[in-house]
Amino acid sequence: MKLRTSIFAAAAALFAACGTPSGELSTGIIPAPDSVAWGEGAFRMPETLAWTTDLAGQELSDLAAWTERAGDFFPAAFAPAASPDEAALELRLAAQGTPESYVLDVARGRITITAPDAAGLFYGLQSLAQLAGHHGRRIPAVRIADAPRFPYRGFMLDVSRHFRPKEFVERQLDLMARYKLNRFHWHLTDGAGWRIEIERYPELTDFAAWRPYPNWEGWQFGGKRYCHRDDPAAEGGYYTKDEIREVIEYARALHITVIPEIEMPGHSEEVLATYPALSCSGKPYVDSDFCPGREETFEFLENVLAEVIELFPSEYIHIGGDEASKTGWKTCPRCRERMRREGLRDVDELQSYLVHRIEGYLNGKGRSLLGWDEILQGGLAPNATVMSWRGAEGGIAAARAGHHAVMTPNSHCYLDYCQDDPSSEPPAAPAFVTLEQAYRHDPAPDSLGADVTKMILGVQGNLWCEHIPTGEHAERMIWPRLMAIAEVGWSRPERMDYADFHGRVLDAVGWLQERGYHPFDQKNAVGPRPESLDTVACLSTGRPVIYRPKYSPSYAAAGDGSLTDGLRGGWNYGDRRWQGWLNTDVELVVDLGERQPVRRIAADFMQGFYADIWMPRAVEFAVSDDGERFGPLTTVENEVPFEYKRNCYREFAWQGEAEGRYVRVKALRNGRQGGWIFTDEIRVE
Number of Cβ within 10 Å of residue 429's Cβ equals: 22
3-state SS assignment for residue 318: strand
- Phi and psi based region of residue 41 (left: phi greater than 0; alpha: psi -120 to 50; beta: remaining): left
Active site residues: 190, 267, 323
128: Cβ contacts below 8 Å, ≥ 6 apart: 74, 89, 104, 106, 111, 113
- In the chain, count of helices (H) and strands (E)? 18, 28
Q: Say how many Å lie between the first and final Cα of the chain, rounded.
A: 64
Which parts of 509-617 are beta strand (E)? 545-548, 579-582, 586-607
The single-letter code of the amino acid at 442 is D
DSSP H helical ranges for 93-229: 118-135, 166-178, 203-206, 216-221
- Angle between helix 481-490 and helix 471-478 axes, rounded to 10 deg: 40
Strand partners, 19: 25
Strand partners, 652: 603
3-state SS assignment for residue 484: helix
Q: Is residue 31 reached through a cis peptide bond, with omega within 30 degrees of 0 on the bond before it?
A: yes
Which parts of 131-217 are beta strand (E)? 138-146, 152-158, 183-187, 189-190, 193-194, 210-211
In 3D, which of 626, 652, 657, 653 has the Cα closest to residue 640?
Answer: 652
As a whole number of angstroms, the distance between CA 49 and CA 45 comes to 7
- Say if residues 316 and 259 touch (Cβ distance below 8 Å): yes
In 3D, which of 317, 322, 328, 318 has the Cα closest to residue 288?
Answer: 328
The single-letter code of the amino acid at 305 is L
- Say if residues 179 and 482 touch (Cβ distance below 8 Å): yes
31: Cβ contacts below 8 Å, ≥ 6 apart: 179, 180, 483, 486, 487, 489, 490, 491
253: Cβ contacts below 8 Å, ≥ 6 apart: 62, 65, 66
3-state SS assignment for residue 562: helix
- Say if residues 615 and 605 touch (Cβ distance below 8 Å): yes
The single-letter code of the amino acid at 62 is D
Strand partners, 113: 91, 104
As a whole number of angstroms, the distance between CA 567 and CA 570 comes to 9
Angle, CA 509 vertex, CA 508 and CA 514 arms, to 5°: 95
Residue by residue, DSSP assigns 326-360 as: -TGGGT-HHHHHHHHHHT--SHHHHHHHHHHHHHH
As a whole number of angstroms, the distance between CA 637 and CA 635 comes to 6
DSSP state of 196: B
